[in-house]
Homo-oligomer: A and B are copies of this chain.
Amino acid sequence: MEEHLRQLIRSIPDFPKEGILFRDITTLLKDAEGFRMAVEAMIAPYKDKKIDKIVCVEARGFLFGGAMGYLMGCGVVPVRKPGKLPYDTEKQAYTLEYGTASVEIHKDALKPGEHVLIVDDLLATGGTAKATAELVERLGGEILSIVFLVELLGLEGRKLLDKYDVFSVITYE
């Protein structure tokens, strides 16, 4: 199954800049059967767990987070770039290759003790996921796992997330 999904992903050299081999999931998304399999693989480990909220990261994480929330009967919480969420937010910065970026969550997005899956499409360096996890913890959420469709092993994002359970469906060296 992982191999079938991997073949639906297109690799694009030098995007967004020279030397980067971009894993383009849009070719998987547009394949109805591939998208269904991907979503089901992402929720499979949590079928018997009590999950209250899917916290998903802008923007591609929303495509999976929405489907997973519906399927699992959970509420869905968007984590967004600064200035996009209209109510009171918590904000967390993280480091990029050059400089920093931030993500935000609504302060009332979670109740203390709620069980959370964090969802995004891709684990690269893990910076966004770690910042998201810190936001969830600041609101008192309990992180059961951080779930990705694709993991780029070479960037060692798992190391940055070593406090957490991390699950990915498709890995690349």
Contacts and interface: CB of A to CB of B under 8 A. Distances in A.
Count identical subunits in the complex: 2
Main secondary structure of the interface of A (DSSP, over half): mixed
A70 B69 contact: no
A138 interface: no
Nearest to A10: B87
Interface residues of A, number: 44
Interface of A: 10, 12, 15-16, 22, 24, 26, 29-32, 35-36, 39, 52-53, 56, 58-60, 62-67, 69-71, 73-78, 80, 83-87, 106, 109-110
| The 8 residue pairs across chains A and B that have the minimum distance between CB atoms | A62-B62, A30-B75, A66-B66, A63-B66, A67-B70, A59-B59, A66-B67, A15-B86
